[in-house]
A and B are shown apart, each in its own frame.
Chain A
Amino acid sequence: MTMAEGDLAVTELAFVRHTPIAPRPPPATMTGALGWLRANLLSSPFNIALTILIGLLLAWAIPEIVKFLFIDAVWTGSDREACLEFVQHRAIGACWPFVWERLPYFIYGSYPISERWRVDVFFVMLAIGIVWLLWLNAPRRDLGAIYFFLILPVTSFILLTGWSAIGLRPVDTVLWGGVLVTIVVAAVGIVCSLPLGILLALGRRSRMPTVRLLSVIFIEFVRGVPLVTVLFMASVMLPLFIPEQWSPDKLVRALVGIALFASAYMAEVVRAGLQAIPKGQYEGAMAVGLRYAQMMRLVVLPQALKVTIPNIVNTYIGLFKDTTLVFIVGIFDLLRTIEVARIDPKWATPVTSTTGYAVAAIFYLVFCYGMSRYARAMEARLTKGDRR
């Protein structure tokens, strides 16, 4: 009774609102573009100073880069005359005709012109294999793996080196160069390092002391020395250890060096994944009567590799960048072909080097950044189950 009376009394009071006040919009300086600016760029005197400083830096750097790459760039021409400041009487940016003329050299090296279709076929086959494996919804990815790890290496080898019996003219690896060599070195490193790395990682965690010792020695030794010295070892010491008649060519030696180097790093990545698998998984597998190989293949490795995929891709990015080091042992990878082309008197101008390096930078940036984006997307997808 009293409560109802009280309520009635309150509702009758003139100064009590009967309807709720509509929420007022936040102050204009806290929302929208202005609020964002305030919070993210101008929150304190120090931040204002920083913003102005960086703004000035960008206002100077970005136009310079755009001017060099596009506005002042030379787009047509047949030799260095087109890209010389004192001939053209204007500011000169990137010298694109140089890249345009040398593009086949950057891609194929000195591969015979009539045989270059073979390299194109190789690129297409590789692209199919990569898409098949990396696109997670692709049909029959098991066939894709067989294609990538078995069929592709064999056919590419026959295609690129040649086989007279089926009418493919043999091409010496000395003639290979440019993107072709970069891709071949990277692909061999990628294809060899994973299985070798898994074997070494399993060896390092083995219960057999000899196996463990040998794996540890190999891994720590390779990881302790620079790749340059491994490549030097492969290129000057390997021929000594092998009977003279079998002596491998320069490219194969570098490939051996890269593959061994990459597999030692891969072993550590895989080992980290193996360590992340709880002991119960091993014990469970043993309890249902699986043998060592079955336990690893069916239970442990699928889980271990799943958690390490991002790290594996990161190792591949490192490997892809490291392929440039074959330059030092005299192999004509992309960087080396650019080095050779840039000092060619026909195109020697003050901007030729920078133009060449810009091309290389774009190439490596596209590949490495693409791989790292893929790794991140993969990580997000694989950890979806862990996030709730």
Chain B
Amino acid sequence: MATDLPASARPASVVFYNDPRVRSIAYQVALCAVVVFLVYGAASNAIENLARARIASGFGFWDQTAGFDISQTLIKYSSRSSTYGRAFWVGLLNTLLVAGIGIVLATILGFVIGISRLSSNWLLAKVAGCYVEIIRNLPLLLQLLFWYNAVLKALPDIRDSHSIGGRVFLNNRGLFLPTPIFKHGFGGAEIALLAGIIGAIAYRVWARKQQERTGRQAPVLWVTLALVIGLPLATFILSGAPLSFEFPQAGRFNITGGTEVLPEFVALLFGLTIYTAAFIAEVVRAGILAVSRGQSEAAFSLGLRPGPTLRLIVVPQAMRVIIPPLTSQYLNLTKNSSLAVAIGYPDLVQVFTGTVLNQTGQAVEVVAITMLVYLVISLATSLLMNIYNSRMALKER
């Protein structure tokens, strides 16, 4: 026995095609060959098909004049002089606008509903539960169509629009709001606001240090309110209220002036907010349930009241569980905003993959650019998420 060679020193007795390393390399080479073959076939077919259909390729279209109108533009855009590239930016900004506002609103609504589901009030918990079950089980597209066609398009037309004091109008063409006009001297209030925010942050830092040193709590809330709201307001009034409004004027067939909020925008915002809030509510509920009961019981036994217990003990620990799925809900909301194309809100997909694609016919380039935009947003968010996760992870020995 002892004279036998150890297994490792013996030459491999398997045939070469049973050697795992050889097999692994063979599989990989075969896979690469298949992929290369598919890509090559697809590319050569595409070149042939494009040539037959006489569709140009390359990104030359980017600088050509677009020649179509867009109903909502955050940057200067005109159908006669603006390029397809400009149209792309208009669409992207519209997507970011609706996604940004939607994320804020959905977070607020989602937290309210998620906490309501855990409320000790039976009725509130049941209503919140029904909201989540119904909204999550209906397709978003159906909800968007409902808000757009059944609610907003059913509003009265211009002549019978709902109005608040003749200053704000709501009808089936949209919501018409007064436009603020900043006069000379408004900058003072802006500077005051900035100073107020910086001051409030500094005060908070000081207040925390003070509490850690002496145990005394400073009136943080009131000072913050005074600095962030009071200071700019005082500056604004002292500098002679340099702000006026341009009010929308109701005509017989049209409303002129003011700021128009498109019904498409409102419907998309409503749909995305209400839909995503149901998912955020579930995330929040799971996060709060993940904090063990002992934590809040310990807080109570130290004499903390329910409010501070939630604020200081439960929520900070729940956030660690909530934040990662919350981010993926934000990403979902951003991706779902592409459903705008169904109700005609001019977002990136509607403007670029819709109109620009139809006009130029350059499917490969246009779809690739659109996908790239969403990919960049997604990957950037996951990168930030990973950094956050590694910072927030429980510090263990």
A binding-site residues for B, Cβ under 8 Å: 39-41, 43, 47, 50-51, 54-55, 57-58, 207-211, 214, 220-221, 223-229, 232-233, 236-237, 239-244, 317, 321-322, 324-325, 327-328, 335, 339, 342, 350, 353-354, 357, 360-361, 364-365, 368-369, 372
Contacts and interface: CB of A to CB of B under 8 A. Distances in A.
A194 B45 CA distance: 30
Given A208-B27, A229-B338, A237-B367, A365 B138 contact: yes
B364 interface: yes
B371 interface: yes
Contacts of B379: 220, 224
B42 A241 contact: yes
A353 B154 CA distance: 10
A357 B137 contact: no
A353 B28 contact: no
Nearest to A42: B121
Contact of B375 (A50, A225, A372): A225
Contact of B127 (A54, A227, A368): A54
Nearest to A230: B371
B304 to A, nearest CB: 17
Nearest to B354: A232
A226 B150 contact: no
Contacts of A339: 145
Interface in B196-233: none
Given A55-B123, A226-B349, A233-B371, A324 B139 contact: yes
B317 interface: no
Nearest to B370: A229
6 contacts: A40-B123, A225-B371, A228-B338, A229-B367, A236-B367, A321-B140
Interface in B73-128: 119-124, 127
Nearest to B25: A208
B111 to A, nearest CB: 16
Which of B32, B137, B149, B349 has the most chain A CB atoms closer than 10 A to its own CB? B137
Nearest to A244: B49
A322 B142 CA distance: 10
Contacts of A372: 137
B335 interface: yes
B52 interface: yes
B243 interface: no
A369 B137 contact: yes
B141 A324 contact: yes
B342 interface: yes
A40 B127 contact: no
B45 A321 contact: no
B45 A242 contact: yes
A117 to B, nearest CB: 29
A228 B339 contact: yes
A229 B371 contact: yes
Contact of A47 (B46, B121, B150): B121
B359 to A, nearest CB: 13
A226 B335 contact: yes
A334 to B, nearest CB: 9
A40 B134 contact: no
B139 A335 contact: yes
Contacts of B142: 324, 335, 357, 360-361, 364
B123 A364 contact: no
Given A240-B50, A241-B46, A357-B150, A211 B31 contact: yes
B363 interface: yes
Contact of B28 (A39, A208, A237): A208
A211 B335 contact: no
Contacts of A324: 139, 141-142
Interface of B: 24, 27-28, 31-32, 35, 41-43, 45-46, 49-50, 52, 119-124, 127, 133-134, 136-142, 145-146, 149-150, 153-154, 335-336, 338-339, 341-342, 349, 353, 357, 363-364, 367, 370-371, 374-375, 378-379
Contacts, number: 152
Nearest to A323: B139
Contacts of A57: 127
Contacts of A322: 139
B94 to A, nearest CB: 15
B336 to A, nearest CB: 7
Contact of B335 (A39, A43, A220, A225): A225
Which of A41, A220, A357, A369 has the most chain B CB atoms closer than 10 A to its own CB? A357
Contact of B154 (A50, A51, A225, A350): A350
Given A226-B335, A357-B149, 16 more contacts: A50-B121, A54-B124, A54-B127, A57-B127, A58-B123, A208-B24, A209-B28, A226-B349, A232-B367, A236-B357, A240-B49, A240-B364, A322-B139, A335-B139, A335-B142, A372-B137
Nearest to A212: B28
B109 to A, nearest CB: 15
B148 to A, nearest CB: 10
A204 B120 CA distance: 45
Nearest to B146: A357
A50 B196 CA distance: 36
Nearest to B133: A369
A228 B153 CA distance: 24
A321 B138 contact: yes
What 4 pairs between A and B have smallest CB-CB spacing? A224-B378, A40-B122, A368-B137, A241-B42
A220 B349 CA distance: 20
B28 A225 contact: no
Contacts of A236: 357, 363, 367
A45 to B, nearest CB: 12
Contact of B121 (A51, A210, A220, A353): A51
A164 B338 CA distance: 42
A137 to B, nearest CB: 27
A50 B146 contact: no
B353 A232 contact: yes
A19 to B, nearest CB: 39
A302 to B, nearest CB: 24
A51 B121 CA distance: 7
B303 to A, nearest CB: 19
Contacts of B31: 210-211, 214
Contacts of A221: 371, 375
Contact of A328 (B32, B341, B364, B378): B341
B123 A211 contact: no
A381 to B, nearest CB: 21
Contacts of A365: 134, 137-138
B138 A361 contact: yes
A240 B46 CA distance: 5
A308 B45 CA distance: 40
Given A237-B364, A335-B142, A223 B137 contact: no
Nearest to B134: A365
A127 B158 CA distance: 50
Nearest to B341: A328
Contacts of B146: 353-354, 357, 361
Given A54-B124, A226-B349, A325 B371 contact: no
Contacts of A244: 49, 52
